Amino acid sequence: MQILDAKLLFKGSFQVRSKTEKIVIHHSASDINTSINDVHRWHQNRGWIGIGYHYLIYHNGDVYKGRPEWAVGAHAYQDAAHEANSNGIGICLIGNFDYQRPSDAQMKELLTLILNIRKRYPNLPVIGHKDLMATECPGQNFPWSDLYAKLQKEVIEVDLEKWMIEEGQTALKELTQKGLVNNPEQWQSEEKLVQAVPLYLLWIMINRLSSYKGD
Ligand SMILES: [Zn+2]
């Protein structure tokens, strides 16, 4: 995915985050034309080194990097028991979702971004700022059930794909060992088994395996 860099200047250095346990979603609670430079300036006016979020998603779906993904954030802190600066990645969607809904482009890019982050931090839970402390953020109109349904679907598809690759590799190994496949290189060289094996092919392989009588 494309992540834009606004080349923000921070007034200080970042701290390395020692643990990563969640993704926290925010809204900017501002006009849809708010820019990353606006948010950066607002956060500097609070005495912070710069924008507190790790990512920002515009109304048109443009995704910007804020703080480096590995850095301690400044986006969710009430007290030591209610905070995620030390263990979370903060994503902010521009807009005020107490009054509007995020755009389709924003939600599409949010989903892509979450899946992208999960390549580096597998299975990271996604929550709202409101789940940590007393706030409405990311707003009453944020479509949680829609987001969770889409994430669940992706999880199932990724798991199924992983299962199909593993089963295909196991089946090929066994078929080769039993002499039922004499050109396993052809499968491997064409990279068929680093992709998901279509279910009908798995079925053929399993059938051949099960009908093999041995010697
Ligand atoms: Zn928030």
Q: How far is the CA of 110 from the centre of ligand 1 (A)?
A: 15
Q: What is the pLDDT of residues 143-174, one digit of tens each?
A: 999 999 999 998 888 778 788 788 877 877 88
CA distance 103 to 142: 10
CA distance 39 to 25: 15
> 3-class SS at 94?
coil
Token reading at 199: 């279910």
Q: How far is the CA of 75 from the centre of ligand 1 (A)?
A: 6
Q: How far is the CA of 129 from the centre of ligand 1 (A)?
A: 5
171, 209 contact by CB (below 8 A): yes
Whole-prediction pTM: 0.79
Domain ranges of the chain: 4-142, 159-211
Q: What is the pLDDT of residues 44-93, one digit of tens each?
A: 999 999 999 999 999 999 999 999 999 999 999 999 999 999 999 999 99
Q: How far is the CA of 122 from the centre of ligand 1 (A)?
A: 23
56, 95 contact by CB (below 8 A): no
Cis bond leading into 125, ω under 30°? no
Half-sphere exposure for 93 (CA within 13 Å, toward CB): 33
Residues near ligand 1 ion, CB 5 Å cutoff: 26, 129, 137
CATH 3.40.80.10, domain 4-142, yes or no? yes
